[in-house]
Amino acid sequence: MINSKNWLTPEWPVPGNVFAVTTLRTGGFSEGGYQSLNPALHVGDNPEVVMRNRARISELLDLPAEPVWLQQVHGNTVIDAAQADGLSAADASFTNQAGVVCAVLTADCLPVLLCSRDGLSVAAVHAGWRGLLDGVITNTVNVLHGKDLLVWLGPAIGSAAFEVGAEVRSAFLAKSIRFGAAFTESHDGKWLADIYALARIDLASVGINQVYGGGFCTVTDADRFYSFRRDKQTGRMASLIWRA
């Protein structure tokens, strides 16, 4: 796969038969707040233009099949992408089959890509704070049967921009005191949340420590990333993973 200004290629030690990218907002056909490579149909963009963007992504990446898009609902459901029938309400998908493209859409939430070290299983997860709290990442790890997994954390809202209410911190602390390390006090009872730290703590709780990526901020990097918190009406990045 050739690196491009239109997508990020994860830096992680996966086998050569595994391919993964996160698309950026450049290189497509959308206009206005959706400019330009928006592959999301649910955000108010022109559907015909979105389909052109999807075709452009498939062409640029030489995808083996149309990505298995999800109806993301900030939940913890994980589906088998090879068994998907239509637009499934889920926030993660996995596959053990070659040529099946798992996909999630994000614009501040955390995209999490997983790969078994033997290259036979891959998965993509959409993890906002609600999904994280409800266990969408750990559910995906469990579906992969606790295999020796590699994980990449894609572009999401940075900790300096992710202000949440005290109730969010309290909910995580009620789940595990370990999540306290991911919060920094802000002002007026608000807290700054590090979504990358939340994911790493969650993964460590199920024995997954080979975690790469992180360190992006979708809010502050407007040239490359869509951000719902920054712009409200905006497109989405697609994080895709598949195996040969």
Is pLDDT at 200 greater than 70 in this prediction? yes
Q: 8-157+209-243: what CATH class? A: alpha beta
Q: Which residues pair with 126 in a beta bridge?
A: 111
8 A C-beta contact, residue 77 and residue 90: yes
Nearest to 113 by CA among 242, 216, 231, 244: 242
Mean local confidence (pLDDT), 182-205? 97
Supply the pLDDT for residue 65: 97
Is pLDDT at 146 greater than 90 in this prediction? no
CA 37/CA 59 separation, integer angstroms = 13
Nearest to 124 by CA among 51, 30, 23, 222: 23
Supply the pLDDT for residue 2: 52
Supply the pLDDT for residue 1: 54
Q: Is 69 exposed, middle or buried (0-12, 13-18, 19+ CB in 10 A)?
A: buried
pTM (whole model) above 0.95: yes
pLDDT tens digits for 65-122? 999 999 999 999 999 999 998 889 999 999 999 999 999 999 999 999 999 999 999 9
Nearest to 78 by CA among 141, 146, 12, 25: 141
Is pLDDT at 12 greater than 70 in this prediction? yes
8 A C-beta contact, residue 108 and residue 157: yes
CA 237/CA 24 separation, integer angstroms = 6
Q: Phi/psi of residue 191, each to 5°?
A: -135, 150
Nearest to 189 by CA among 203, 168, 175: 168
Residues of the chain with pLDDT > 90, as a percent, come to: 95
Helix (H) or strand (E) holding 111: strand 110-116
pLDDT tens digits for 20-35? 999 999 999 999 999 9
DSSP-derived letter for residue 82 is G
Supply the pLDDT for residue 86: 84
CA 60/CA 37 separation, integer angstroms = 12
Supply the pLDDT for residue 85: 85
User: What is the signed CA dihedral for 9, 10, 14, 18, rounded to 10 degrees?
Assistant: -40
Is pLDDT at 3 greater than 60 in this prediction? no
Annotated domain spans of the chain: 8-157+209-243
Mean local confidence (pLDDT), 52-63? 97
